[in-house]
Structure 1
């Protein structure tokens, strides 16, 4: 099967929503105070520094190792990350709604405490169905997100075989790309999400091996942030799973 030569996904930089959500969780509040809709949450100053550090990493690569294609979530925090990160990078670039963050429906803007207090039946249903298949009313399950990512990967493989592709997206997208590309079983995916950490502006990548298949090269690395002086953060914020 034709394959991409290299695929990477960058989680967006720290957003104002990440900061507000971390503050709400730490103070025991039920609701996260974010005035914008999820799609319009911007980067924080730290997030802009992190995105610039990604740019320093990309521009430091040899010319033949830089991305040739960039696909971006339509959410503002991802688009701003890509704008900073891709400066001076000659790549064909577009926005694709299939990379948007998971939609939480009635659980949007609630902390874990808020879900348990305001929708205890949903907390129970999620515990019974599990992280992958639970769909909040008006929202998406991880399985739903996987379907749109499967479609996007199919298009990329068909239209950009041999290209070096970089994606700018969200925490859940990183985990579910691993699920699809590496054919991870559901229990192992859930354990990975529970034990792993996908920090803001971390980079996960795969390279095509001699067998013609993508294989994991790096998972959620942040060495570029340390090297360039941008503070690594892992706040979940509006990317978080509230229950």
Structure 2
């Protein structure tokens, strides 16, 4: 989807420099991992209103499905065709298994094409949003087992609502601001690829594009961040990162 097709409320007209004293990356590309076993299980459960998705492992240990691995390989092949304007020099990855697997498959495709491989950095701050006691519960299960929490969620909104033992979107944004500061210091004038999670990609929009709460929720309502979708910012003449692509999958569409 072209940037010009997006809801104008989902963009800022005057990009700002996050850290004025630092040049920052030339380009910053954020990608969600390929389809995970939980993605597939939740899709099936939500379709029939089921309460249980049948997953007992930690969120951090969820792996890619066969489809997810195919998506990651396709992303790697597409990136390999971008030599010259989009080939990443650095790869920042969440420590969760599904993101690590996605990154490994992307690097394998770059290696197969005989291209220079990016430097790898695994950063705990790029992990998925933690949902605490509501982890691995479907929407139906939350409404049934935690009705007061479901009501509080509706009242406060995702940016402010923090599930017991978990994180609000604001909490995730706080650790991402810290990660971005380190990234700006380490990756000046370089092309950077982040492989992480849907909440991370969405909240990078919140931080980099200075989206306010209403704008962020409007953006979230347009649909989830797709597996292996590409979101990219390019540094402009004033040193600000300007949105170039949002939630597109040119390697699959």
- 2:71 aligns with 50
Task: Give the Cα separation in 1 of the matches to 2:196 and 2:236.
Answer: 25
1:108 aligns with 2:132: no
- 1:154 aligns with 181
Please report the RMSD computed on the Cα atoms of aligned residues, expressed in angstroms. Answer: 1.1
Cα displacement (A) at 1:63:
4.1
Cα displacement (A) at 1:36:
1.8
Where does structure 1 differ by over 6 angstroms across 4 or more consecutive aligned residues? none
- 2:165 aligns with 138
1:197 aligns with 2:224: yes
Unaligned segments of structure 1, at least 5 residues: 227-243
Cα displacement (A) at 1:29:
1.0
1:128 aligns with 2:160: no
Task: Give the Cα separation in 1 of the matches to 2:190 and 2:223.
Answer: 28
Cα displacement (A) at 1:94:
1.7
Q: 1:1-243 maps to which residues of 2 (within 5 A)?
A: 1=20, 2-63=23-84, 65-87=86-108, 88=111, 89-226=116-253
Unaligned segments of structure 2, at least 5 residues: 1-19
TM-score normalised over the length of structure 1: 0.90
Cα displacement (A) at 1:152:
0.5
Task: Give the Cα separation in 1 of the matches to 2:185 and 2:39.
Answer: 35
| Superposed CA offset, 1:152-174 (max 9, x none) | 00011112111110000000111
Give the number of equivalent residue pairs.
226
Task: Give the Cα separation in 2 of the matches to 1:85 and 1:26.
Answer: 31
| Superposed CA offset, 1:37-80 (max 9, x none) | 11000000000000000110111112463111101011101000
Q: In terms of mean alpha carbon deviation, does 24-33 or 73-82 score higher?
A: 24-33
Task: Give the Cα separation in 1 of the matches to 2:83 and 2:45.
Answer: 43
Task: Give the Cα separation in 1 of the matches to 2:43 and 2:162.
Answer: 23
Task: Give the Cα separation in 2 of the matches to 1:62 and 1:40.
Answer: 32
Task: Give the Cα separation in 2 of the matches to 1:49 and 1:94.
Answer: 23
What SS does the aligned partner of 1:9 have?
Answer: strand
Task: Give the Cα separation in 2 of the matches to 1:105 and 1:28.
Answer: 21
